[in-house]
Amino acid sequence: MPLPLLALAVAAFGIGTSEFVIMGLLPDVARDLAVSIPAAGMLVSAYALGVTIGAPIVAIVVANMPRKQALMRLIGIFIVGNLLCAIAPGYAVLMAARIVTAFCHGAFFGIGSVVAAGLVAPNRRAQAIALMFTGLTLANVLGVPLGTALGQLAGWRATFWAVTGIGVAAAIALAVCLPAKIEMQKASLVHEFTVLKNPQVLMVLGISVLASASLFSVFTYITPILEDVTGFTPHAVTLVLLLFGLGLTVGSTLGGRLADWRLMPSLLTVLVLIAAIETVFAVTMHSTVGAMATVFVWGVLAFAIVPPLQMLIVDRASHAPNLASTLNQGAFNLGNATGAWLGGVAIGAGAPLTSLPWVGVSMAVGALALTFVSATLERRAQRVPMSKPSTCA
């Protein structure tokens, strides 16, 4: 694989770490800034909403910009945003900094995927995109646990200083390794936005929102759950987050193979299993061994859902796959924000941490129902031409 793919992977690692590491630092951020855990959880929601709102806006701004220039500007936004996080004097500035950082997220992965696919032979495009997204997976395996450990040792601001450093390293790698001229097609975004008139596309976006909300309604508050309910020490929580990251790595590979095998049956099965594993977690969160095993399996299922949904949105929006993929990234992050908000509402209303898995289960059931409706309508649409009466004399 060419060096430009490794540069893209480094950038993906930094972006992924910045997004998810805040969950391991919630108690530290809340104590330092004198806010509640639900208020600190809104930092997750703010980032996710920033991706959701920013993805289409930034896609329009950089649509016809040279690809290398666009990627360099996006990684520059990432660096500035994390620098602001590191020096934020209070909660409001930190919230604004998270939103600034989030604006580069969706567009970077959207453009980066297209660039990665164009850097290799046609028969290796999927491998190239997978290598870039390996950076995102490694962010959960290494970046989040190590960032959490650093934050617990030297303060949460040290983690964002480190992520800023990763951003600078990624910018240097992109500047040196990416070709000066990268082939691109002029985009007609006005035409591509007509894809939103397709009900099947909207249903896939809805499934992505609900599936992501199912995860983040619980996982946003995983650190206080593991510390206060399960009884883990802060350092042990880091190891559990590492297990979750390993599960994500396995799940990403598994989800891709399932999507290539049987798309809709695999999607339905994984959603059933997500609802089941969150139900199990409501019980096993009281046991250290049980919680660790459940969190690992949960990680596998959490990312096994991503490749099937990404493939489904591309299939349903074949005339506008780039925009659809970007919007799906926004849908996932809207789910992140919704889930974190729902979890915070439950806690703010007096519900114990032990009740959060049931919020996740309800979201998974909703995603399952919407997937079933989508699959049913698709089957009916495929049968319509076959059921028309003959017009032969």
What secondary structure does DSSP assign to 132-170, as a single string?
A: HHHHHHHIIIIIHHHHHHHHHHH-HHHHHHHHHHHHHHH
| Chain position carrying tokens 């209070």 | 90
11: helix, strand or coil: helix
pTM score, two decimals? 0.75
Would you state the pLDDT for residue 390?
A: 46
Q: Provide the token pair at 355.
A: 């009740």
Q: Read off the pLDDT of residues 216-234 as tens digits, 9 standing for 90 and up.
A: 899 888 888 999 999 988 8
Q: Do domains 1-185 and 188-393 have the same CATH topology?
A: yes
Q: What are the sequence ranges of the domains in the chain? A: 1-185, 188-393
Would you state the pLDDT for residue 136?
A: 81
Would you state the pLDDT for residue 184?
A: 58
| Chain position carrying tokens 């509640």 | 36
- CA dist 294 and 264 (Å) reads 25
- CA dist 116 and 124 (Å) reads 10
Backbone φ and ψ of 8, nearest 5°: -65, -35
b or e along 333-346 (b: 16 or more beta carbons within 10 Å of the residue's beta carbon)? bbbbbbbbbbbbeb
> Could you tell me the CATH superfamily of domain 188-393?
MFS general substrate transporter like domains (1.20.1250.20)
**Contact in structure between 143 and 13 (CB atoms under 8 Å):** yes
Would you state the pLDDT for residue 238?
A: 79
Would you state the pLDDT for residue 191?
A: 66
Q: How many other C-beta atoms can be found within 10 angstroms of the C-beta atom of residue 393?
A: 3
Would you state the pLDDT for residue 393?
A: 37
Would you state the pLDDT for residue 56?
A: 77
**Contact in structure between 291 and 230 (CB atoms under 8 Å):** yes
37: helix, strand or coil: helix
Would you state the pLDDT for residue 84?
A: 94
Would you state the pLDDT for residue 211?
A: 93
**CA 91 to chain centroid:** 24
Q: Which residues of the chain have pLDDT under 70?
A: 1, 122-130, 182-192, 314, 318-322, 384-393
Long-range contacts from 341-345, C-beta under 8 angstroms, 24+ separation: 341/41, 341/42, 341/45, 342/213, 342/217, 343/38, 343/41, 343/216, 343/217, 343/218, 343/220, 343/221, 344/37, 344/38, 344/39, 344/41, 344/42, 344/45, 344/220, 345/38
- CA dist 174 and 47 (Å) reads 24
Fold of 1-185: Growth Hormone; Chain: A; (1.20.1250)
Radius of gyration for the chain, computed over Cα atoms and rounded to the nearest angstrom: 21
